[in-house]
Amino acid sequence: MVIALFRHGITEENKRKAYLGWNDSLLSHETKDLVTSKSYQRYYSSDLQRCVGTAEWLFPTANLHLVKELREMNFGSWEGKTFEDLKENSHYHHWVIDPWIHSPPGGESFHDFSKRVDSAWVKITEEVLILNLKSCAVITHGGVIRHLLSRFAPQPKEFWEWQVTHDQGYELIFEKESLRRGERCILLLEEPLTAKGNG
């Protein structure tokens, strides 16, 4: 059983290194350079337009199943702000040091974010098992993918240790019973998205 995780294409806000959670931003033109030869039996996506647009570009014939719980962390009043904007803010410093205790003002705690993403995972895996699928793809956000890799990759690594870029996905290979029990996958493969015209 294969569950593939793809991050949305780079956005204009990503380029300026702004916090981008529940706000949306236009995909940069570079996204249209990315292609994959892979296909899956079912496709799930965050409902934010940067993920929907990426999914439609990478998998143009896919019937997308939108899952709101696959959204990025809600950064509250820090949405659209950069490190430069926030570097004098003491609350921000506390959050950077320990995001498990501190939350963005008006945003989401790391605990609530993790719980929400876990609920999306349960929803997706239950559906995949009921339908007896062999593969599915999830198009979502960097924080969501980091959380899922920290929970389900074969080798345990912390959330921030994962590098989740806009031009590479991951395929998690599960034994069916391990997936049903919520255990780690048996194999993790990198799935690069190649630039159009470069093979």
At 26-55, the pLDDT tens digits run 999 888 889 999 999 999 999 999 999 999
Residue 194: pLDDT band (50, 70, 90) is confident
Least Cα distance to 54 among 30, 38, 78, 76 occurs for: 30
The string over 157-173, giving b where at least 16 C-beta atoms fall within 10 Å of a residue's C-beta and e elsewhere, is eeeeebebebbebbbbb
Cβ proximity of 169 and 34 under 8 Å: no
Decide which of 114 and 196 is more confident.
Answer: 114
Cβ proximity of 94 and 103 under 8 Å: no
Region of 115 on the Ramachandran plot (φ > 0 left; ψ -120 to 50 alpha; else beta): alpha
Interatomic CA distance for residues 18 and 1, integer angstroms = 36
C-alpha distances (whole Å) from 146 to each of 33, 96, 129, 150, 153 are 24, 16, 23, 6, 10
At 111-143, the pLDDT tens digits run 999 999 999 999 999 999 999 999 999 999 999
Residue 13: predicted pLDDT: 92
- pTM, rounded to two decimals: 0.94
C-alpha distances (whole Å) from 46 to each of 22, 52, 82 are 10, 7, 23
Cβ proximity of 30 and 100 under 8 Å: no
Residue 138 bridge partners (DSSP): 5, 44
Cβ proximity of 44 and 65 under 8 Å: yes
Interatomic CA distance for residues 123 and 130, integer angstroms = 11
Check whether 198 has a pLDDT greater than 80: no
Check whether 197 has a pLDDT greater than 60: no
Residue 199: predicted pLDDT: 43
Residue 30: predicted pLDDT: 86
Average pLDDT for residues 70-79, to the nearest whole number? 97
Cβ proximity of 126 and 132 under 8 Å: no
The percent of residues in the chain predicted with pLDDT above 70, rounded, is 97
Least Cα distance to 1 among 101, 124, 113 occurs for: 124
Average pLDDT for residues 169-184, to the nearest whole number? 96
Average pLDDT for residues 173-180, to the nearest whole number? 96
Average pLDDT for residues 12-23, to the nearest whole number? 94
Average pLDDT, the chain: 94
Tally helices (H) and strands (E) across the chain: 7, 8
